[in-house]
C-alpha cells in the first residue's frame, strides 16, 4: 500500500507541474525514471520491485500488449503521408540493417559472446520509442515530413520486431536442446494463432461496434470502454490458445483502426489513458532497475555500445534507406538522430531477463539501461536546438508539409 500511495502522489505531482517541467526540457519519462532511481533503487528501496514475481511479469507483458494495440490504431493516421516521407523504407530496410549493425557492434565490443545473445540485445535496444520526443513531434517548426516519418516508424517497428524477439529468446533459452526448425515451427504456430485471433477480434469488434451504434443499442459516450477492453481481451484469449499475445494485440489494433478513427479520437481516449499510466510505471521501474544495474559501476564497452546503438547503428541505415526520397539531407539526419529509446526496450529487456540465465540477463539489462539512459539525456539536450535550426533554415512550403499532424497518445509516444 505504501508503494501504491507513493506512485499516486508522483502522478498527482506530475499533473500539476508538467507544463513547467516541459520548459526545462524535463519529460515525463525522465521525471519518472529519476523518481524510480530514488525510490525503487538500492539495497533498501522505499518501493521494492520483485522482477521474478509471476504477476509482475504478466503486468509487463500487458503493458507491451496495450502499447502495440495503440501503435497499430494510431498508424492509420499517417497512411496519407507515406508517399511523401518514405516511412516504409525505415521499416523494411533501415530497421533490419540497424539490428544487424547493433549485433555486429556487440560482437566487436564483447568478443566471445554468444551470437544469439547479441541478437537478442540488438532486438531490445534498437526499436524506437517516441515518448521522450513529445514536444518535438508537436513542434510545427520541425518539418511535417520528419515528424510523420518518425511517427509511422515508431508506431509499427515494435510490432514487427516482437516475433523475432520471441524466436531469438526461445533459441537462447533452449541452448542447443532443440533444433532451430522446431523453434521456428513454434514461432510460426504462435504467430499464426496470433494472426487468426487478432484479426478475428479486431474485425468482429469493429463490426459489432458499428452494428450497435446503427441499432441504437450503444452511444459514442460508452464505447471507449469497449475499446479499452480490446487489447486485454485479445492478449488473454491468444495466450490461453497458445499464441503470441503481443502480435495478436497489434493485429487487432490494425483491424480495429478504421472503425476507431471514424468514431473520432475520443473513442480511444481510455485506451490512451491506460497506456499513459502503464507507461509511467515502466519508466519508474526503469529508474530503479538502472540504479541496481550500475551500482557496482559500468564498463566502457557497455557505454560505447549504447552510444553506437544510438548513433552509427541507427544513423547510417536510416540515411541509406531514405536516399532518393523527398526528404532533404537535414531532414534525413533528423530522422536518423531522433530515434529515441524507451518503453519498448525496457519491456523487452525485462521479458528477456525473466527467461534467461543470470549472466545473460545481466548483459541484456545492462545494455538496455545504458542505451535508454543515454537516449533520455542526449535527445533531451538536442530537441530544442534542432527545432530552432529548422525554424531558421527551412523555407515555408505549401501543401502537405503544413497539414495538421495529430501526435499519437499512449505509452509509445506521448509520455
Q: Estimate to the nearest angstrom the gap between the alpha carbon of 134 and the chain centroid.
A: 13
pLDDT in tens, 76-126: 544 444 444 566 788 889 999 999 999 999 999 999 999 999 999 999 999
| Cα 27 from Cα 33, distance rounded (Å) | 10
Q: Is 272:230 a contact under the CB 8 Å cutoff?
A: no
C-alpha pair distances (Å), 170 with each of 120, 154, 176, 329: 10, 25, 11, 40
| Cα 81 from Cα 43, distance rounded (Å) | 50
Cβ neighbors of 148 (< 8 A, separation 6 or more) are: 78, 81, 84, 85, 87, 405
Helix (H, G, I), strand (E, B) or coil at 295: coil
Helix (H, G, I), strand (E, B) or coil at 63: helix
Give residue 396's pLDDT. 57
C-alpha cell at 239: 495466450
Of 171, 169, 184, 182, the closest CA to residue 355 belongs to: 169
Mean pLDDT by 10 residues, the chain (415 residues): 74 86 78 86 74 69 86 62 62 92 96 94 92 81 86 80 86 73 78 92 94 88 89 93 87 91 86 86 86 82 96 94 88 92 90 88 93 91 89 64 44 39
Amino acid at each position: 500500500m505504501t508503494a501504491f500511495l507513493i506512485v499516486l502522489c508522483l502522478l498527482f505531482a506530475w499533473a500539476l507541474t508538467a507544463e513547467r517541467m516541459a520548459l526545462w526540457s524535463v519529460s515525463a519519462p525522465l521525471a519518472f525514471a529519476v523518481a524510480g532511481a530514488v525510490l525503487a533503487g538500492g539495497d533498501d528501496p522505499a518501493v521494492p520491485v520483485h522482477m521474478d514475481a509471476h504477476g509482475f511479469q504478466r503486468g509487463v507483458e500487458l503493458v507491451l500488449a496495450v502499447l502495440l494495440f495503440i501503435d497499430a490504431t494510431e498508424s492509420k493516421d499517417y497512411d496519407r503521408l507515406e508517399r511523401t516521407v518514405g516511412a516504409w523504407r525505415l521499416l523494411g530496410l533501415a530497421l533490419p540493417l540497424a539490428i544487424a549493425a547493433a549485433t555486429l557492434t556487440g560482437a566487436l565490443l564483447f568478443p566471445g559472446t554468444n551470437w544469439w545473445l547479441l541478437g537478442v540485445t540488438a532486438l531490445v535496444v534498437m526499436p524506437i520509442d517516441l515518448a521522450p520526443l513529445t514536444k518535438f513531434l508537436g513542434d510545427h517548426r520541425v518539418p511535417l515530413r520528419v515528424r510523420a516519418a518518425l511517427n509511422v516508424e515508431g508506431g509499427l517497428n515494435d510490432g514487427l520486431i516482437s516475433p523475432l524477439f520471441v524466436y531469438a529468446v526461445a533459441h537462447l533459452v533452449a541452448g542447443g536442446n532443440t533444433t532451430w526448425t522446431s523453434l521456428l515451427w513454434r514461432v510460426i504456430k504462435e504467430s499464426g494463432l496470433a494472426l487468426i485471433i487478432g484479426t478475428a477480434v479486431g474485425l468482429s469488434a469493429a463490426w459489432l461496434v458499428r452494428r450497435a451504434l446503427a441499432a441504437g443499442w450503444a452511444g459514442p459516450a460508452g464505447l471507449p470502454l469497449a475499446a479499452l477492453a480490446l487489447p486485454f481481451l485479445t492478449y488473454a484469449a491468444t495466450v490461453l490458445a497458445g499464441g503470441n499475445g503481443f502480435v495478436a494485440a497489434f493485429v487487432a489494433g490494425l483491424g480495429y483502426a478504421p472503425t476507431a478513427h471514424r468514431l473520432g479520437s475520443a473513442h480511444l481516449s481510455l485506451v490512451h489513458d491506460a497506456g499513459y499510466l502503464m507507461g509511467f510505471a515502466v519508466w519508474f521501474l526503469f529508474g530503479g532497475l538502472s540504479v541496481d544495474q550500475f551500482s557496482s559501476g559500468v564498463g566502457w564497452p557497455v557505454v560505447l555500445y549504447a552510444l553506437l546503438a544510438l548513433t552509427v547503428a541507427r544513423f547510417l541505415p536510416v540515411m541509406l534507406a531514405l536516399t532518393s526520397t523527398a526528404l532533404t539531407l537535414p531532414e534525413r539526419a533528423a530522422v536518423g538522430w531522433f530515434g529515441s529509446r524507451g518503453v519498448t526496450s525496457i519491456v523487452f529487456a525485462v521479458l528477456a531477463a525473466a527467461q534467461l540465465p543470470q549472466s545473460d540477463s545481466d548483459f541484456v539489462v545492462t545494455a538496455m539501461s545504458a542505451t535508454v539512459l543515454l537516449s533520455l539525456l542526449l535527445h533531451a539536450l538536442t530537441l530544442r536546438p534542432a527545432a530552432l535550426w529548422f525554424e531558421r533554415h527551412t523555407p515555408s512550403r505549401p501543401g502537405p508539409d503544413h497539414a495538421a499532424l495529430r501526435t499519437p497518445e499512449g505509452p509509445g509516444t506521448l509520455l
